[in-house]
Amino acid sequence: MSNPSLLILPGDGIGPEVMTEVKRIIDWFGAKRDLAFDVEEDLVGGCAYDKHGTPLHDDTMAKALQVDAVLLGAVGGPKYDNLDFSVKPERGLLRLRKEMDLYSNLRPAQCFDALADFSSLKKDIVAGLDIMIVRELTSGVYFGEPRGIFEEGNERVGINTQRYTESEIDRVARSAFELARRRNNKVCSMEKANVMESGILWREVVQKVRDTDYPDVELTHMYADNGAMQLVRAPKQFDVIVTDNLFGDILSDCAAMLTGSLGMLPSASLGAPNADGRPKALYEPVHGSAPDIAGQGKANPIACILSFAMALRYSFDQGDEAARLEAAVEKVLADGVRTADLLGEEGVTPVSTTGMGDAILAALDASL
């Protein structure tokens, strides 16, 4: 029986640095847990443009469609700011999401006890926070047509179209309800049904899916602007939040800062099941390429490491091993080991990117 396959796309900026630590952890699972992966590495983003003149080569796209999961670091940087929109580094990531049909983006926001003081909110509001935002990823205003900048009379007009079909809403709603059944059986759907027809349709379809196939799951509806307010007022009222592409982008970044650092947050983008029943999947940290600290050993690899933990859980049916890795991260943080983004309190041990990887590997060894 062949090993599960992974395509690693480190990308730009700090992407290669944090991905190096993930590769060490992948090797650990192969050596210590008899969980080996067939790993291939390729380019995406600015580095792919530098070599191929495109942010994602067709050959790389073909590989992504064949493997069991893709693990991505980060893309972009000021070096590429003046490129034509069609070849900007981010277009490579968007192409992966679109052609892999990764319609369900899972963004957890979890506040580890050791980091509760790093949140911009009071400790009692965020301590123990563990919510999941499910963002529709392949439709909505980022993909709707018509779009562009056009001449209209004597001025220019920028147009983007918010568009959703019933089937697109249906499938991401099901993803959220299935996930809720594995958590606390609560879903809050967020839209703007008060001012947007797409929001009216969104609310109707989500309610129908729940009433028809998930009557055991508690469903509430909330306007997305109120949702943003509630996330910073009382975030622990939520369990699973499901929302569209634009609102999901905004709300998940808002939720990210509740936890204290973008360097802590993973994500999973899931699509339709393959022949073996597993979804096509791409895993990536929520943070960007952070070109200002690239190459300095300051980057926090935890978000990328936790993205691999999500891959273990959702792509490889290794929930126990995912929990082992997550527990190792939690232990290291509880022991006061910190990268540069998490410094600021007394009694901590500052470490480099590699030092954080060393500490997590030691915690994994101790778990055996």
Cβ-count burial of 293 within 10 angstroms (0-12 exposed, 13-18 middle, 19+ buried)?
middle
Q: What whole-number distance in Å separates Cα of residue 356 and Cα of residue 368?
A: 19
Helices (H), 54-122: 58-66, 89-99
* Per-residue confidence (pLDDT) for residue 274, from 0 to 100: 73
274 is in an annotated binding site: no
Based on the domain organization, do 243 and 307 belong to the same domain?
no
In the chain, what is the greatest distance between 2 CA atoms, to the nearest angstrom?
70
Alpha-carbon distances, residue 47 vs 32, 52, 76, 84, 289 (angstroms): 33, 9, 9, 16, 12
- Answer with the one of 242, 258, 274 that is the final residue of a domain: 258
Based on the domain organization, do 137 and 37 belong to the same domain?
no
336 is in an annotated binding site: no
For residue 56, is it within any domain? yes
Based on the domain organization, do 98 and 171 belong to the same domain?
no
Based on the domain organization, do 71 and 157 belong to the same domain?
no
For residue 219, is it within any domain? yes
Q: What is the DSSP string of 201-230?
A: HHHHHHHHHHHHH-TTSEEEEEEHHHHHHH
The answer to whether the CB of 203 falls within 8 A of the CB of 164 is: no
Closest C-alpha to 5, from 265, 269, 333, 278: 278
3-state secondary structure of 89: helix
The answer to whether the CB of 182 falls within 8 A of the CB of 194 is: no
Based on the domain organization, do 21 and 51 belong to the same domain?
yes
For residue 115, is it within any domain? no
* Per-residue confidence (pLDDT) for residue 114, from 0 to 100: 85
Question: 194's torsion region: left (phi>0), alpha (psi -120 to 50) or beta?
Answer: alpha
For residue 237, is it within any domain? yes
């499910």: which residue's tokens?
Answer: 134
Quote the tokens at residue 300: 């926090």
176 is in an annotated binding site: no
The bridge status of strand 144-152 relative to strand 155-161 is: antiparallel
Based on the domain organization, do 245 and 354 belong to the same domain?
no
147 is in an annotated binding site: no
Based on the domain organization, do 155 and 233 belong to the same domain?
yes
For residue 111, is it within any domain? no
108 is in an annotated binding site: no
The per-residue pLDDT for range 208-249, each reduced to its tens digit, is 999 999 999 999 999 999 999 999 999 999 999 999 999 999
- Answer with the one of 233, 258, 283 that is the final residue of a domain: 258
Q: What whole-number distance in Å separates Cα of residue 170 and Cα of residue 167?
A: 5
291 is in an annotated binding site: yes
135 is in an annotated binding site: yes
Domain that holds residue 70: 1-105+262-368
For residue 113, is it within any domain? no
Contacts of 275 (CB under 8 A, 6+ apart): none
338 is in an annotated binding site: no
* Per-residue confidence (pLDDT) for residue 121, from 0 to 100: 85
The bridge status of strand 69-74 relative to strand 279-285 is: parallel
Chain mean position to CA 246: 15
- Answer with the one of 258, 283, 314 that is the final residue of a domain: 258
13 is in an annotated binding site: no
* Per-residue confidence (pLDDT) for residue 5, from 0 to 100: 95
Q: What is the DSSP string of 177-189?
A: HHHHHTTTSEEEE
Alpha-carbon distances, residue 53 vs 8, 40, 43, 60, 94 (angstroms): 20, 21, 12, 13, 16
292 is in an annotated binding site: yes
- Going from the first residue of the chain to its last (368 residues), give the mean pLDDT of each consecutive group of 10, the final group possibly shorter: 92 98 98 96 98 98 96 96 94 92 94 84 88 95 95 96 98 96 96 98 98 98 98 96 96 84 86 79 94 95 96 94 96 94 84 98 97
Q: Beta-carbon neighbour count of residue 220 at 10 Å?
A: 12
For residue 118, is it within any domain? no
216 is in an annotated binding site: no
Q: What whole-number distance in Å separates Cα of residue 85 and Cα of residue 211?
A: 42
Q: What's the CATH number where 279 sits?
A: 3.40.718.10
For residue 112, is it within any domain? no
* Per-residue confidence (pLDDT) for residue 153, from 0 to 100: 95
Based on the domain organization, do 158 and 170 belong to the same domain?
yes
Instruction: Please list the active-site residues.
Output: 142, 192, 225, 249, 253
The total number of structural domains that make up the chain: 2
Helices (H), the chain: 15-32, 46-52, 58-66, 89-99, 123-126, 166-181, 197-213, 224-233, 245-258, 302-314, 319-334, 353-366
Contacts of 84 (CB under 8 A, 6+ apart): none
